[in-house]
Amino acid sequence: MKKVAIIMGSDSDLPVVRKALDTLTGYGVPAEMHIMSAHRTPAETARFAAEARRNGFGVILAAAGKAAHLAGALAAGTTLPVIGIPMKSSDLGGMDALLSTVQMPSGIPVATVAIDGAVNAALLAVQILAVEDASLAEKLDAARADMAAAVRKKEAALQNELSNA
């Protein structure tokens, strides 16, 4: 199976980004996590992107805050799918990072999830790998069935409470 790269701009992103690693691990998807910055370590970032495909990666997650260029900088150096995670690491509540990540000019796409959306970024990576992996697709279906069952249980509990009120 292809690996997923989880790249973050700073160790201050780690508490949120760790949820992506946990999600991938839960699906048995191999992942590597690294700190790299489009601004502070541009050479390492460019090298990582250029070598990612031959190093066995299938998807790259890129988490960054403020003037968040990490996802775009990685996407510029590879045709692997790159998923940007805008981080809520500034006084602007992550809107700065969201717009910096999502507003890529035509030609170099970055799939962008919600502010601090590390779990959905990981799930999207699993879904991309599941295009060619039936057992991963089965795990995704099972997780969605569990999610639906949990909602139905809560609905039943609510209706039960209301009818006894």
Residues that bind ligand RP5 (CB under 6 A): 9-10, 12-13, 37, 64-66, 87, 89
Nearer to ligand RP5, 4 or 87 (CB): 87
Cα Dmax for the chain: 64
CA separation for the pair 121, 29 (Å, rounded): 13
**CB of residue 154 to ligand RP5, shortest distance in Å:** 34
Using alpha carbons, list the distances in angstroms from residue 69 to 87, 97, 104, 141, 165.
12, 8, 10, 33, 53
Residues 6+ apart with CB under 8 A from 49: 60, 73, 74, 75, 76, 77, 78
**CB of residue 160 to ligand RP5, shortest distance in Å:** 44
Nearer to ligand RP5, 62 or 128 (CB): 62
As given in the structure block, the two tokens for residue 8 are 């973050």
**CB of residue 67 to ligand RP5, shortest distance in Å:** 8
Using alpha carbons, list the distances in angstroms from residue 22 to 29, 69, 156.
10, 24, 30
Q: Where are the alpha helices (DSSP H) in 77-117?
A: 95-102
**CB of residue 42 to ligand RP5, shortest distance in Å:** 12
Nearer to ligand RP5, 11 or 146 (CB): 11
**CB of residue 11 to ligand RP5, shortest distance in Å:** 7
Strand order in the sheet with 57-65: 31-35, 3-8, 57-65, 82-87, 111-112
